Structure 1
């Protein structure tokens, strides 16, 4: 493994601070930190200023710890309380519709010669980034019923569904015994999550309560240990690290009593959102094929096309399935929030490019579409939802009524 280049670390650290500082200094600027991290990574990268040239150590920080922490947070944020009842039924049915639309669109683009790797391309179009949206939803008071449970369930499935689909996509290219290993690993992990939720936790609860606020931070260390253990195990079994990381997050949440969720999330945010996850996004910007994205009108057009497909794939189910639960404006808002996709798009394209399944040029175009979705869709959703007269469900003409 190569030696760490000090200039790499300094440039990445400064980019991380600037990306967090701009929204803090300019709160009215509709640019989430994740967008700025990718853009600033591209600026300090080899294609612009040339301050950062990623080597093996930086790639390890980004692809194992940073990307792993992103999916650990996604697993931890998958709240079992929202995975029940009508919201989850709508979310599951909606994601199935999304998958049909997304993979169909990707296959069509592939036949037209406009995209390769249709499975990874389609998968990137099926995501929702609830972690990026949560602060905006919370600040706008949109987490209350009826809208809150619906958007939280849609967001949760928009993270869980792609992780499962990613495992299936990779399993199809493996030998039968490797695919069987992946299936057994997933089944054992699901069983472990269920057991952790149902197990007697009286002794462990006391330890968590005593150490949550002390310098030892035992619960956080256990979560980091689970991330590393399951990440390494995933690599040894030739399973993508993000699968093990997601399971580590789900196990962490399942092992804790509900009263610790917010405190634990704050501490994971401190390690993840302040340090490890920004390293992944800045490094992704460093590796972004900027030249292919900005030098071709076709590439820029395709970025806009991908943003539109993200909205259609995730938004159409919101309009079609929620007529009995939400007003038209709320359904439009849900469609726009569901179509906000950047972080997981970056993760999926990084995996596809690393495995040689997707060109760096197409990966850059997909990330460009994700950037557009993250800049535009939450702001448009805000306009629609601010004009909503009252947060009450409406009686529509039926499950499929989207014109009322």
Structure 2
């Protein structure tokens, strides 16, 4: 009916983002990109990968430093407004999804299959040991001030255990790329074992989160496992041939951009699928990268433009954003500081123990075990996501949240120098040299 109000409302276009929110987001992005580049270069100057400096940007610009030195300016530049922060998060999420997808393309399944026993045992023990230690310590040693009063002790303990047992594929991937180690055998082992950790870790997070909301029942445990099994079946039977056909078409296209666009579409589509199943989209992006890498005939040189943009802009924004939620002020309380040191020690010890036992089973030497343990210790943003979920569900309070975030940052910063120290003592094999030449576009 002409003039009907509902029809007029439906036909009205959605107003674009503008005014103060747009100005603020662009200002934030400019500052984060520039500071991440500067601190990344400084990290390189002292022999560390750029990701160390990029993680430090968020800590410096967040409430821990800038928020205390200039609270008024910090409140304007990074307001505690969820909608404004989500605009920045959207850009950061795009960066991490593409970063993890490109990393999945680089995974060498020939090595993974050959060293499968090492990967499986390192991953499983690296999950089980810190999970068990975290639960035990939370139930017996941690002060009650770290647990919200309404949270059941077992739920809090399980949540803490899950937070300590995860690894972080985004940080691992960026570290290996920055250090030029992704082509090394130990880098491939870290990547494969970290992927298994992420899969199991996200399943455990789904179960514990459901327990916090609805309590423990059969559906809490079974549903995430069924979703994962169905996803892997669909990707194997349908996704792999479709991606192979799409990538071969892109390789034949006249435009060099066709491969990049097709790869981005596959990665984002897989991430969308896992998000729709209430699994982590980062896991889907990694599966999309694996599908591309195993489709046959895809040259890593054709993905170099995508990787250059990721390394220069999108990935640094993601890592810089990760530290903006962290506040070190809670550590002035002795009980919180003691709890932080205890949890940090358990987190580091648990992953190194998993790498040690997994390495012994796989007959790795001591330097390979050290590198594997260092890489697996990089929890980074996955642990930050776990902490954010716990805070949102009321399982964690401000103090326990800060401890988990601090553990994520310290383990991520600790990993690169240990990796560098260990890998310098490992002889480069002919297999690694061949893989380096194949991956050279991603390493430059």
Aligned residue among 229, 254, 259 for 1:187: 229
Q: Which residue of 2 aligns with 1:4?
A: 21
Match of 2:265 among 199, 214, 222: 222
Structure 1 residues 230 and 140: alpha-carbon distance in aligned structure 2, compared to 1, 3 A threshold: closer
- Measured at CA, do residues 65 and 23 of structure 1 come closer, stay the same or move farther in structure 2, by a change above 3 Å? closer
SS in 2 for 1:125: helix
The farther-off stretch of 279-288 and 339-348 is: 279-288
| 8 A Cα contact 1:314 1:339, kept in partner | yes
1:118 pairs with 2:157: yes
Q: 171-180 or 9-18, which moves further after superposition?
A: 171-180
1:77 maps to which of 96, 103, 110? 103
- The 1:216–1:149 alpha-carbon spacing in structure 2 relative to 1, beyond 3 Å, is closer
Q: Does 1:336 align with 2:374?
A: yes
Offset of residue 106 of structure 1: 1.7
Contact 1:128 1:339 in 2 (8 A): yes
Give the counterpart of 1:367 among 405, 429, 436: 405
Q: Which runs of 5+ in 1 are unaligned?
A: 393-404
Contact 1:38 1:283 in 2 (8 A): yes
Partner of 1:398: none
Structure 2: stretches of 5+ with no match in the other structure:
1-16, 148-155, 431-444
TM-score (norm 2): 0.72
CA distance in 2, matches of 1:196, 1:160: 21
Using the TM superposition, give the Cα deviation of residue 94 of structure 1 relative to its aligned residue in structure 2, in angstroms: 2.2
Q: Does 1:37 align with 2:57?
A: yes
1:225-264 maps to which residues of 2 (within 5 A)?
225-226=268-269, 229-230=272-273, 233-234=276-277, 239=278, 243-255=280-292, 257-260=295-298, 262=300
Matches within 5 A, 1:122-161: 122-134=161-173, 137=176, 142=181, 147-161=186-200
- The equivalent of 2:131 in structure 1 is 103
TM-score after normalising by structure 1: 0.78
Report the alpha carbon displacement of residue 314 of structure 1 after superposing the two structures with TM: 1.1
Task: Kindly indicate whether residue 83 of structure 2 is the aligned counterpart of residue 57 of structure 1.
Answer: yes
Matched, 1:19 2:39: no
1:63 to 1:357, Cα distance in 2 relative to 1, 3 A: farther
More helix by share: 2
Deviation of 1:310 (Å): 2.4
Whether the 8 Å contact between 1:227 and 1:248 is mirrored in structure 2 is yes
Residue in 1 aligned with 2:119?
A: 91
Q: Structure 1 CA distance, aligned partners of 2:422 and 2:281?
A: 38
2:150 equivalent in structure 1: none
> How many residues were matched structurally?
385
From the superposition, tell whether residues 176 and 278 of structure 1 become closer, same or farther in structure 2 (CA, over 3 Å).
farther
Asked if 1 retains the 8 angstrom alpha-carbon contact of 2:355 and 2:373, the reply is yes
Return closer, same or farther for 1:207/1:48 CA change in 2, 3 Å cut-off: farther
Answering whether residue 256 of structure 2 is matched by residue 213 of structure 1, we say yes
Provide closer, same or farther for how the CA distance between residues 270 and 59 of structure 1 changes in structure 2, counting only shifts above 3 A. Answer: farther
